[in-house]
Structure 1
């Protein structure tokens, strides 16, 4: 039986995007099952987060994600539009959100019906690699989904029929994330141990190897 690890993930998390290349390498190189468990971004889970965080945090974040991308040869640019609608001046996060619920629910539907890891990889690259502005327009999402082997219309149909049900599944993932020992993303949870951040993927690999994870 392959080893199994839970991946808690947000489409608005730059570090989730930056971690993806290495997570895919692990799945391809080792006898490993990665269970994709999308959650809402911290701005949705904790709407006051950006109001309460230290004023230097956002500037540091923007600097850090750019240099991590540069160091690893990964193109990164903040998505336009932002997956979370937020007033950048007041840091207010309105209840009405046009994008993030759909994206998150699509991630869950993909994980339930096919290769969720390939799906979040292709969609996150569409959002974050800077090649497309207006990712929500035209057939950009449909093409990204198709690259992972999914019919976007079918996935949309699943989530539109049961918005409340998919919301509950997200909340279950969020509860499981905290139970694992962390609240942020990306987090890999392995045997009740949380490995938070794109720079902890190889620490998780080390732990799994201690427990007998073998190459394919």
Structure 2
């Protein structure tokens, strides 16, 4: 029997990028299906979360993300540009030129059955350090092609009418909280939430208890 789990994921989360190779290998190698549920990052959903953080939070976070990427053997650099923009006057409350379309493209990829490959390929160009201006030219189109998607068709659907994609993201965000957390990456298996990329092994352990088998 094919097992299934939900993945709540953000294009602005470095930890979401870091878990993708393991999630992609899991879906590729084991009899399991990942239901990709993209969400907007906290900086967009609840900008006050960052406005109220202790001053030590950012310094530790920036140390940890680079350390964790090195520990996992993944190339890593803060994106150029950041998928979520911040201004000195408005903070994260400014108009966002990138993250909404990115998230809607993630929804479209999931609807076409290629959610995991798309998240993996796009997160590589955003976070992997080899691509400047990932939002320009054909970077996203090439990532979509590597994921087995027709980017022109998918982007046309997203750009023509964003409303249905917005609705899906909002549904995902409500379902995420109902499942037990608000952060990403977060997986949910049999009603049990696993928050953080460092909970991947526990997720797989729980699946093994429920009969996870190789493909």
Smaller-chain TM-score range?
A: over 0.9
Q: Which residue of 2 aligns with 1:16?
A: 16
Q: Which residue of 1 aligns with 2:138?
A: 139
Count, aligned residues: 215
* Contact kept? 1:50, 1:91, Cα under 8 Å: no
Change (3 A) 1:203 1:91: farther
Q: Which residue of 2 aligns with 1:152?
A: 151
Alignment partners' CA distance in 2, 1:199 and 1:165: 32
- Deviating 4+ runs (over 3 angstroms): none
- Residues 22-79 of structure 1: CA distance to partner in whole angstroms, max 9, x if unpaired? 1112112211001111000000110111111111111111111111111111011111
Q: Which residue of 2 aligns with 1:71?
A: 71
Partner SS for 2:145 = helix
Alignment partners' CA distance in 1, 2:90 and 2:58: 11
Matched, 1:165 2:161: no
Deviation at 1:214, TM superposition (A): 1.6
TM-score by length of 1: 0.96
Change (3 A) 1:208 1:24: same
Unaligned runs of 5+ in 2: none
Alignment partners' CA distance in 1, 2:113 and 2:198: 27
TM-score by length of 2: 0.96
Alignment partners' CA distance in 2, 1:16 and 1:61: 14
Alignment partners' CA distance in 1, 2:103 and 2:188: 19
Deviation at 1:149, TM superposition (A): 1.4
Matched, 1:59 2:78: no
Alignment partners' CA distance in 1, 2:90 and 2:23: 32
* Contact kept? 2:44, 2:93, Cα under 8 Å: no
Unaligned runs of 5+ in 1: none
* Contact kept? 1:8, 1:186, Cα under 8 Å: yes
User: What is the aligned-residue RMSD (CA, Å)?
Assistant: 1.2
Deviation at 1:164, TM superposition (A): 1.4
* Contact kept? 1:105, 1:159, Cα under 8 Å: yes
* Contact kept? 1:51, 1:91, Cα under 8 Å: no
Deviation at 1:91, TM superposition (A): 7.0
Matched, 1:32 2:46: no
Q: Which residue of 2 aligns with 1:124?
A: 123
Q: Which residue of 2 aligns with 1:202?
A: 201
Matched, 1:48 2:48: yes
